[in-house]
């Protein structure tokens, strides 16, 4: 890690105690690393909110007996073939399937892809998580879709 900058912050003691308890439970060895991770997470969230270049995991659970749903989900992914990196399919039980789709690109595009998959008729539940592909410590702003 290069170019470290030290700074001081003022915070209520009760808040700091709560934070220390929290980071201890999470396994952090010191506040600095916990704060760095919080900052990175916030910058990644900001990049996602702004529609910048990110990676995303889209998870869906559906009943594969629903008519034409499996074909529809495959069709949607093929329409975004330049964005979908990989997909994993798990047969959860007799009726239900879990699919996790990994995609990269502008968050605006990935959000639309996630909305279409999660919103497809017969999908029981779904979730999308956007992650920054920025290097550790890099700024979230000014990223471009390569």
Residue with tokens 């704060």: 35
Instruction: Closer to Ni ion by CB, 26 or 94: give it.
Output: 94
Instruction: Closer to Ni ion by CB, 91 or 139: give it.
Output: 91
Give residues in contact with Ni ion (CB under 5 A).
91, 97
Q: How far is the CB of 90 from Ni ion (least distance, A)?
A: 7
Instruction: Closer to Ni ion by CB, 55 or 60: give it.
Output: 60
Q: How far is the CB of 124 from Ni ion (least distance, A)?
A: 13
Pairing of strands 84-91, 123-132: unpaired
Instruction: Please tell me the total number of residues recorded for the chain in this structure.
Output: 146
Of 2, 124, 110, the residue nearest 58 (C-alpha):
110
Q: How far is the CB of 21 from Ni ion (least distance, A)?
A: 42
Pairing of strands 53-63, 96-106: antiparallel
């Amino acid at each position: 890690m290069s170019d470290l900058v030290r700074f001081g912050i003022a915070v209520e003691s009760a808040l700091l105690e709560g934070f220390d308890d929290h980071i201890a439970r999470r396994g952090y060895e010191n506040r600095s690393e916990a704060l760095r991770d919080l900052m990175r997470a916030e910058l990644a969230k900001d990049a996602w909110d702004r529609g910048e270049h990110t990676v995303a995991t889209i998870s869906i659970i559906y009943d594969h007996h629903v008519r034409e749903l499996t074909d529809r989900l495959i069709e949607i992914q093929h329409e975004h073939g330049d964005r979908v990196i990989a997909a994993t399919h798990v047969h959860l039980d007799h009726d239900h399937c879990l699919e996790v789709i990994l995609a990269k690109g502008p968050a605006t595009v990935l959000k639309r892809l996630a909305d279409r998959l999660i919103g497809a008729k017969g999908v029981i539940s779904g979730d999308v998580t956007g992650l920054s592909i920025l290097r550790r410590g890099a700024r979230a702003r000014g990223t471009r879709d390569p």
